Chains A and B, each alone.
Chain A
């Protein structure tokens, strides 16, 4: 049936409202992204960038070990950070949601996210002071006689993971808390009525119902962690390079924009795959 004049006017109005956002997205995301994708097929020959169509950069990613290892290191660190962050954030979110009195929950959440208020770079450097050989942790352990020599907590993967975990525990706490707080107490009562003990109630009822919150937080952790180079740069001591660091090297030192674009697209594909997996899982959960 042909649309009425009123419907057509409504449709035009809807487009008019959406147009600024579409233009914004087009100008500042789609066009730059398409440009970056095109550049990834160019090459740097000598000191010149040549606009030619080739897969050389993508082949180099797989052939040159230091490029591919960047992705492997990124995935290893991201997986470690995500798992540790979930294990730490869940009990924290549960305590805030279940054990802290209602009137104090907001305060507890503010305390939990307080570190978000400081600059990311400053926070990473602060961790360097805490984790270094002469830092607070080592000095305290030495003073207590727990260790005889300072522990190597910075300038390695341990430092990077600690810096990341501190940040992402806060993020995951928020998403898991948001899930936990919406959970009706009737579920637990029903489980108890059916004879489940506290552990069984948690394992078979509460945990599955809060998995969406965990998944959303884990996905955000994955995306932010795998794309970050500041924390590994400051706390990792450059002892191994994550993929974003490798990308930065292509830009900052070689001015090899095509290679940097290709590596960025590889990173983007990884993030997209993670998103698809997460979205499919959440969809399956709902059906």
Chain B
């Protein structure tokens, strides 16, 4: 238990895993290179040294095997926390996640529980090769039985993971890898925000920006610039994509009457599409402009020399803000 004035997101996740493992001997960490190496991003650094190879398990290089065996261990009473090394490598495990992990609790009419957390570093802007920069969150949020969450800062990184591990449902925990080394405060003795509640991280009156994970920081920069131009932007950090806290979003939009949703994932059938539809339904008479979306294109994630053009950035979000305000 500690108070950190400044701690990186990566270290906050490490602290969270450590505290969860100390609190519950059934919590296991599994994945490729999570042991001695401490993970390719060093998120699990030191855990195997302190908790042993029996609880911090270097697995064969087989993602379906990682998730499938974790299901078996959960059936035996364990709480595995899995690491998928990169977003683009989760697909060999997609079958186990969708056909087994998500559905088994319902299949068993509630008789068995699968408290499994799958950590996936996601998103771009790190200059990586193919398959290392993707944002597949909607592919999981679309599946009933899974919960999908993603933190944008160190405190949420710590608390949301801890809450997910303590819960009894399968959770996909997306880690904004380009923000791993961003520092912010963490109080491990604070009372945590409810796991699936969004948070208004900046109050404003002219327009709401809804974002999550790596895009929250971009939206903060946008709000700063907009303020200098005399526009008051409210930011809602969604934090959870399954379920999505539409109540918080609705309150915000009823106040600002304008909404722009920002994510790295492709716009087409992305979470922004669902948010636009639901907010239109809930706030039809409040809206002054259609809900706009800023995100990736319907193209394979481009080579890294082009990613700055592909990813939503300050200018692209500002452009959407301008378009919304022009209605």
The answer to whether A and B interact is no
